[in-house]
Amino acid sequence: IFAIGINMIFGKKISVGNLLPAIFFPVVFMLIKVFWPAFPV
């Protein structure tokens, strides 16, 4: 969403596909924390 807004404001082409994995990292870390409480995050 942030990259799409930057593309609209500045007209610079940023590949949004490279930023998509960043959406899933917090979800993965949350699941690790729930199922493995001793994980040092």
Residue 9 has a pLDDT of 59
The C-alpha atoms of residue 4 and residue 16 are separated, in whole angstroms, by: 7
Q: Which domain holds residue 22?
A: 2-35
Residue 17 has a pLDDT of 61
Residue 33 has a pLDDT of 82
The C-alpha atoms of residue 13 and residue 30 are separated, in whole angstroms, by: 32
Q: What is the pLDDT of residues 1-41, one digit of tens each?
A: 555 565 555 555 656 666 667 777 888 888 888 888 776 66
Give the total number of structural domains in the chain. Answer: 1
Residue 41 has a pLDDT of 60
Q: Spell out the SS3 assignment of the chain.
A: CHHHHHHHHHCCCCCHHHCCHHHHHHHHHHHHHHHCCCCCC
Residue 29 has a pLDDT of 83
- Is 41 domain-assigned? no
What residues contact 6, with CB distance under 8 A and at least 6 apart? 12, 14
Residue 28 has a pLDDT of 83
- Is 40 domain-assigned? no
- Is 9 domain-assigned? yes
